[in-house]
Structures are given as C-alpha cells and as structure tokens.
C-alpha cells in the first residue's frame, strides 16, 4: 500500500472518531506533528503504530493496509460534512448578531 492511501485512511478514521490530531497523538503516545506527517503522507507509521491506531479508531488493521477504498464515497461525505460545519458556523454568527441587536435596543 502506498503512503497516500495510508495517509488518507488515517485522517478519515481520526475524523470519524471526531478526534483532533492532538487527541489521536495523545492516544497513540505521539505528537500531533507525527500524526500530521502520517496524514500528509510525509511519513508512514510503523506496524506497531498501525496496530495501536487500529485499536484506538476501532478499525481492523486491514483497513489501513488493504489496497481497496472507495474515494468517491469519502469525497461526498467530506463535502457534506464541510457544508454542515459551515452552516453551523453561519447559524452561530447569525445568532450572535441577533443577540447583539436585541441587547442594543
């Protein structure tokens, strides 16, 4: 398996667990910089780290080492998650502006 595929799956698994790079690093006893290197494909985690990653993310080891993956499904999910997050931010901004307007009256 190439670095890019492993990197993609590490990031996907972390996001599915709703963990930051720092959270995952702490769970694996690594720095957030190490996680960033793995997720960008600059470095490949050793098998020992992949095994621990498998436990932390509740994914089988084969998830990180198997060649097959559906990039289309992930791309759509990522896009929808990004849209959802942006809508939440917009709603928070609008709510805070409404509160300020009410308090100024």
CA distances from 51 to 10, 63, 65, 83 (A): 12, 11, 10, 33
pLDDT (tens digit per residue) in 66-91 = 765 555 555 677 778 778 888 888 88
Average pLDDT on 25-51 reads 95
User: Which range is least confidently modeled, 6-10, 32-36, 37-41, 90-94?
Assistant: 90-94
pLDDT at 36 over 80: yes
- What is the fold of 1-66? 434 Repressor (Amino-terminal Domain) (1.10.260)
Instruction: Please report, for the chain, the start and end positions of each structural domain, with discontinuous segments joined by +.
Output: 1-66, 70-105
Residue 55 pLDDT more than 60?
yes
Instruction: Give the position of tokens 């198997």.
Output: 66
Would the pLDDT of 94 be above 60?
Answer: yes
Question: How is residue 45 annotated by DSSP?
Answer: -
| DSSP code, position 42 | S
């Amino acid at each position: 398996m190439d670095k890019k595929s492993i990197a993609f799956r590490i990031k996907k698994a972390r996001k599915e667990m709703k963990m930051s790079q720092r959270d995952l690093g702490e769970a694996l006893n690594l720095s957030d910089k190490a996680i960033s290197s793995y997720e960008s494909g600059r470095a490949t985690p050793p098998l020992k780290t992949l095994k621990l990653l498998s436990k932390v993310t509740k994914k089988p080891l084969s998830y990180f080492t198997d060649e097959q993956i559906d990039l289309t499904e992930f791309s759509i999910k990522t896009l929808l998650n990004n849209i959802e997050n942006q809508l939440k931010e917009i709603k928070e901004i609008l709510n805070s502006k409404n509160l300020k307007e009410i308090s100024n009256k």
